[in-house]
């Protein structure tokens, strides 16, 4: 044990010594840095962050109380033209009421070598922009000038906010290499933060305790014939915790296909206020565990209180529910009613923005307005309904107990046939068919008593795309045929969303170009608005470039333009899970008529593949009867998310699909 303690102390001393040895300072750019032609550990890098250092400090002043001051300084090296995008830097900030954040840039310079010397060009005021995104968010932009291959960019920015609910996020990993990244937090003993480290690369952490004090002035007025005011200055001692996080030589974050949100895997740091313990006051727990998170959120005026309001809709909803007998019928009535009454204003949020009454009156609201209203109406209809907190795919996965993990809310209704998840913000949603943005692993159901329950948001039922195709092959290679495509569940949702608001001629032109310049006629779309039914597309087509005629032989891919020609999984090693969003089945029934005067020389052989643990299966069966070929192909993936451990199996599976689906039929003249 003594040896272990001694070893730990030695390691800590070495780490601290290394941190102190790294002396980075704005303005100290060397010619060697400017002359560097490529990154020493990643020659493909278009740019790199040479160092990034910052801190967030909770400080007290008498006018505002406790505030968070953040300062960050960064040095970036540009290696290639494609790295010029890093000459534009952005810092987002909040605009919400009294917690507006103040952002400012300083010490921004571009460095180049000119005549063998270092040239330093300052970013002028016209290179700084302030942009309001919406009523909640803004961003400060910094544009560097005179940027070229080899340039080094330096800048510093500060953020000041009165909202101490969370520390600014810190991203150690970027889409380019990061040589050095250090972040420190200074937190008085009155606050406890939940700390979440994401990604696969974790920083070294060093903690220091320092004695601090703050002074504040109290004003007192004396009573009597003459009112006098006196001021007394008081001093309070407290302990401040400084935590320093350090990472070096961080590789670039590489994007991969079928990733729900790359930021889920980025090495980064998030910190949310969990406990407040002011002197001589009760301890306030905000997000110690999921139960405290649920209770905190439910107690918000913009959340739980809104669920108790019902008078504004009862008169209109009552006659619509009169003929609804079953729970399923009631759910459909309420869902359709909310969709018809309130439109989404494109703002997220689990809490109400306007309040359900005002949103109902104005026929517009955010996600909280709409789906808390939906929950209240379901309860009014006699259903056991509760809100479910969700973090959208773009917001990241909510793994650890915290209030800010969620940015969305849906409704859940329990019925004899099971739990139904609902979202009235999208006109194409249906019971248990939610907008794709919500399919993000897990949500959190909150009940009236403040208890909560984990909700699996990943669909279990396969969404299908079934294609019936028949075509004739002419001796000169012309292909004439008909197609009928039917989509169910999430495939139907995606189909409706893709067609919504698009002119038919524009859609058909895109479809023709996608399918090797075919000519489409007799197009028909049915059930595009009835969300309970599959979408059905049917059309005739002519293709002049779908087969090859060489030396009296015809070569044709039997699946034509529906064949998978490339394996989407090419990496040797997959770092992130494969996220399809939902399980699915693609099924093709294809009938092919051979031209007169031709016979079959060769056909792709029938085959079948199965992945382990019923993850997926593929079947390819091609048969011939006289001058007609019949092909049946089924690709079924039964898991929405494929783990990294299963990646090699999935990669081989799709390789087999591509190999089989790209095989050609060969016809020869008789």
Determine the Cα–Cα distance for residues 244 and 185; give it in Å rounded to an integer. Answer: 7
**Is a pLDDT exceeding 70 seen at residue 4?**
no
- Do 302 and 358 touch, CB atoms closer than 8 A? no
Return the minimum-mean-pLDDT range out of 116-125, 192-201, 255-264, 286-295: 286-295
DSSP label at 331?
A: H
Which pLDDT does position 219 carry in this prediction?
62
**In what helix (H) or strand (E) does residue 384 lie, and over which residues does it extend?**
strand 384-390
**Which residues does 126 contact at the CB level (< 8 Å), separation at least 6?**
none
What are the tens digits of pLDDT across the range 406-439? 999 999 999 999 999 999 999 999 999 999 999 9
- Do 631 and 619 touch, CB atoms closer than 8 A? no
Residue 285 falls inside a structural domain: no
Residue 590 falls inside a structural domain: yes
**468, 470, 479, 472: which is closest to 594 by C-alpha?**
472
- Do 336 and 405 touch, CB atoms closer than 8 A? no
Which pLDDT does position 8 carry in this prediction?
39
Domain boundary among 411, 433, 456: 456
Quick one: what percent of the chain has pLDDT higher than 70?
93
**Is a pLDDT exceeding 80 seen at residue 99?**
no
Half-sphere exposure for 289 (CA within 13 Å, toward CB): 6
**CA angle at 322 for the pair 316 and 326, rounded to the nearest 5°:** 120
Q: Are 432 and 546 in a shared domain?
A: no
Q: What is the residue-averaged pLDDT of the chain? A: 92
Residue 579 falls inside a structural domain: yes
Bridge-based pairing of strands 268-276 and 284-285 is: antiparallel
Instruction: Spell out where 509-597 has E strands.
Output: 519-526, 535-543, 547-550, 553-556, 578-579, 584-593
Determine the Cα–Cα distance for residues 217 and 215; give it in Å rounded to an integer. Answer: 7
Residue 123 falls inside a structural domain: yes
- Match 């920083």 to its residue by tokens: 203
Q: Are 308 and 363 in a shared domain?
A: yes
Confidence of residue 7 (pLDDT cuts 50, 70, 90): very low
Which pLDDT does position 431 carry in this prediction?
98
- Between residues 21 and 461, which one has the greater pLDDT? 461
- Match 């895997």 to its residue by tokens: 265
Largest CA distance in the chain: 124
Token pair for 34: 């400017």
Determine the Cα–Cα distance for residues 198 and 512; give it in Å rounded to an integer. Answer: 44
Cα distances (angstroms) measured from residue 239 to each of 29, 70, 242, 273, 477 = 37, 20, 10, 17, 83
- Do 53 and 23 touch, CB atoms closer than 8 A? no
**Is a pLDDT exceeding 90 seen at residue 398?**
no
Which pLDDT does position 2 carry in this prediction?
39
**CA angle at 519 for the pair 518 and 523, rounded to the nearest 5°:** 115
Which pLDDT does position 429 carry in this prediction?
98
Q: Are 215 and 361 in a shared domain?
A: no
- 369 lies in which domain range? 291-456
Q: Are 411 and 488 in a shared domain?
A: no
How far is CA 553 from its chain centroid?
A: 50
3-class state of residue 651 by DSSP = helix
Confidence of residue 291 (pLDDT cuts 50, 70, 90): confident
Return the minimum-mean-pLDDT range out of 322-336, 391-405, 496-510, 635-649: 391-405
DSSP-assigned beta bridge partners for residue 538: 484, 524
What mean pLDDT comes out for the span 528-541? Answer: 97
Q: Are 299 and 169 in a shared domain?
A: no
- Do 661 and 564 touch, CB atoms closer than 8 A? yes
**480, 491, 466: which is closest to 589 by C-alpha?**
466
Count other C-beta atoms under 10 Å from residue 524's C-beta: 9
3-class state of residue 458 by DSSP = coil
Instruction: Spell out where 144-297 has E strands.
Output: 152-161, 166-171, 178-188, 191-198, 204-222, 228-250, 268-276, 284-285
Q: Are 350 and 212 in a shared domain?
A: no
CATH number at residue 130: 2.60.40.3140
279-310 b/e (C-beta count within 10 Å ≥ 16 → b)? eeeeeebbbeebebbbbbbbeeebbbebbebe
Token pair for 413: 């209704």
Q: Are 262 and 333 in a shared domain?
A: no
Cα distances (angstroms) measured from residue 455 to each of 437, 572, 573 = 16, 34, 31
- Between residues 98 and 112, which one has the greater pLDDT? 112
3-class state of residue 70 by DSSP = strand
Q: Are 228 and 306 in a shared domain?
A: no
What mean pLDDT comes out for the span 611-620? Answer: 97
**419, 459, 406: which is closest to 435 by C-alpha?**
459
- Do 183 and 269 touch, CB atoms closer than 8 A? yes
What mean pLDDT comes out for the span 94-109? Answer: 85
Q: Are 263 and 380 in a shared domain?
A: no
DSSP label at 322?
A: T
CATH number at residue 420: 3.10.620.30
What are the tens digits of pLDDT across the range 143-158? 999 999 999 999 999 9
Which pLDDT does position 450 carry in this prediction?
79
What are the tens digits of pLDDT across the range 46-58? 999 999 999 999 9
Which pLDDT does position 226 carry in this prediction?
62
Cα distances (angstroms) measured from residue 260 to each of 74, 441, 511 = 29, 10, 26
Domain boundary among 249, 276, 303: 276
DSSP-assigned beta bridge partners for residue 421: 412
C-alpha torsion angle, residues 284, 289, 295, 297 (rounded to 10): 90
Count how many domains the chain has: 3
Residue 283 falls inside a structural domain: no
- Match 């909202």 to its residue by tokens: 163
Q: Are 572 and 542 in a shared domain?
A: yes
CATH number at residue 545: 2.60.120.1130
Token pair for 514: 């996608």
Residue 75 falls inside a structural domain: yes
Cα distances (angstroms) measured from residue 386 to each of 135, 305, 371, 396, 430 = 29, 13, 10, 23, 17
What mean pLDDT comes out for the span 55-70? Answer: 92
Q: Are 422 and 537 in a shared domain?
A: no
Domain boundary among 426, 456, 486: 456
Which pLDDT does position 448 carry in this prediction?
87
Confidence of residue 16 (pLDDT cuts 50, 70, 90): very low
Which pLDDT does position 135 carry in this prediction?
80
- Do 363 and 341 touch, CB atoms closer than 8 A? yes
- Do 466 and 587 touch, CB atoms closer than 8 A? yes
What mean pLDDT comes out for the span 373-385? Answer: 97
- Do 608 and 619 touch, CB atoms closer than 8 A? yes
What are the tens digits of pLDDT across the range 339-353? 999 999 999 999 999
- Between residues 16 and 280, which one has the greater pLDDT? 280
Return the minimum-mean-pLDDT range out of 293-302, 328-337, 625-634, 636-645: 293-302
Determine the Cα–Cα distance for residues 461 and 432; give it in Å rounded to an integer. Answer: 10
Which pLDDT does position 225 carry in this prediction?
58
- Match 């993990």 to its residue by tokens: 405
**Is a pLDDT exceeding 70 seen at residue 460?**
yes
Quick one: what percent of the chain has pLDDT higher than 90?
79
Residue 282 falls inside a structural domain: no
Q: Are 10 and 101 in a shared domain?
A: yes
**Is a pLDDT exceeding 60 seen at residue 478?**
yes
Cα distances (angstroms) measured from residue 371 to each of 255, 274, 438 = 33, 27, 13
Residue 496 falls inside a structural domain: yes
């Amino acid at each position: 044990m003594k040896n272990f303690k001694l070893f730990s102390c030695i390691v800590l001393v070495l780490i601290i010594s290394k941190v102190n040895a790294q002396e980075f300072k704005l303005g100290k750019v060397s010619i060697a840095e400017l002359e560097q032609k490529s990154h020493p550990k990643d020659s493909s890098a278009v740019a790199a962050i040479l160092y990034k250092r910052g801190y967030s400090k909770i400080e007290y002043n008498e006018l505002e109380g406790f505030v968070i001051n953040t300062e960050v300084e960064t040095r970036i090296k540009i290696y290639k033209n494609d790295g010029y995008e890093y000459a534009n830097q952005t810092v987002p900030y909040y605009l919400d009421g009294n917690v507006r954040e103040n952002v400012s840039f300083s010490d921004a310079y571009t460095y180049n070598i000119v005549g063998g010397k270092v040239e330093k060009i300052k970013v002028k005021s016209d290179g700084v922009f302030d942009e309001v995104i919406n009523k909640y968010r803004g961003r400060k932009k910094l544009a560097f000038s005179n940027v070229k291959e080899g340039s080094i960019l330096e800048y510093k920015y500060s953020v000041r906010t009165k909202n101490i609910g969370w520390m600014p996020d810190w991203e150690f990993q970027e889409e380019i290499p990061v040589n050095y990244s250090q972040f420190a937090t200074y937190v008085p003993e009155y606050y406890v933060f939940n700390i979440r480290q994401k990604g696969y690369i974790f920083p070294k952490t060093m903690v220091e305790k320092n004695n601090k004090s703050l002074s504040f002035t109290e004003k007192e007025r004396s009573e009597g014939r003459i009112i006098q005011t006196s001021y007394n200055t008081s001093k309070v001692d407290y302990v401040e915790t400084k935590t320093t996080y350090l990472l070096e030589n961080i590789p670039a974050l590489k994007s991969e296909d079928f990733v729900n949100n790359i930021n889920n895997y980025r090495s980064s740091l998030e910190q949310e206020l969990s406990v407040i313990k002011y002197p001589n006051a009760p301890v306030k727990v905000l997000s110690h565990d999921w139960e405290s998170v649920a209770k905190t959120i439910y107690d918000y005026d913009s959340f739980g209180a809104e669920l108790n309001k019902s008078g504004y809709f009862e008169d209109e909803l009552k006659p619509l529910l009169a003929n609804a007998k079953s729970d399923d019928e009631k759910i459909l009535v309420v869902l359709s009613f909310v969709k018809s009454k309130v439109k989404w204003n494109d703002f997220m949020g689990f809490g109400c923005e306007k309040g359900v009454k005002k949103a109902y009156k104005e026929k517009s609201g955010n996600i909280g307005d709409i789906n808390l209203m939906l929950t209240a109406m379901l309860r009014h209809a006699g259903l056991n309904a509760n809100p479910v907190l969700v973090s959208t795919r773009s917001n990241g996965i909510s793994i650890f107990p915290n209030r800010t993990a969620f940015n969305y809310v849906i409704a859940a209704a329990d019925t004899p046939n099971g739990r139904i998840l609902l979202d009235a913000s999208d006109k194409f949603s249906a019971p248990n068919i939610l907008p794709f943005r919500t399919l993000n692993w897990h949500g959190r159901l909150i009940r009236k008593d403040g208890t909560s329950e984990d909700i699996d948001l990943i669909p279990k039922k396969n969404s299908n795309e079934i294609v019936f195709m028949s075509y004739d092959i002419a001796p000169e290679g012309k292909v004439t045929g008909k197609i009928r495509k039917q989509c169910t569940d999430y495939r139907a949702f995606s189909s409706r969303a893709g067609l919504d608001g698009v002119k038919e001629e524009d859609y058909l032109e895109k479809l023709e170009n996608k399918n090797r310049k075919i000519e489409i006629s007799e197009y028909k779309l049915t059930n595009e608005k009835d969300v309970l039914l599959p979408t059905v597309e049917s059309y005739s087509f002519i293709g002049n470039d779908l087969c090859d005629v060489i030396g009296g032989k015809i070569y044709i891919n039997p699946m034509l333009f529906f064949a998978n020609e490339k394996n989407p999984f090419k990496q040797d090693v997959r770092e992130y899970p494969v996220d399809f969003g939902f399980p699915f089945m693609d099924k093709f029934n294809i009938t092919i008529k051979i031209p007169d005067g031709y016979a079959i020389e060769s056909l792709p052989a029938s085959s079948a593949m199965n992945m382990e643990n019923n993850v997926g299966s593929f079947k390819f069966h091609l048969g011939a009867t006289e001058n007609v070929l019949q092909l049946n192909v089924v690709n079924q993936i039964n898991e929405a998310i494929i783990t990294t451990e299963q990646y090699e199996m999935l990669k081989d599976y799709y390789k087999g699909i591509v190999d089989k689906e790209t095989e050609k039929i060969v016809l020869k003249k008789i």
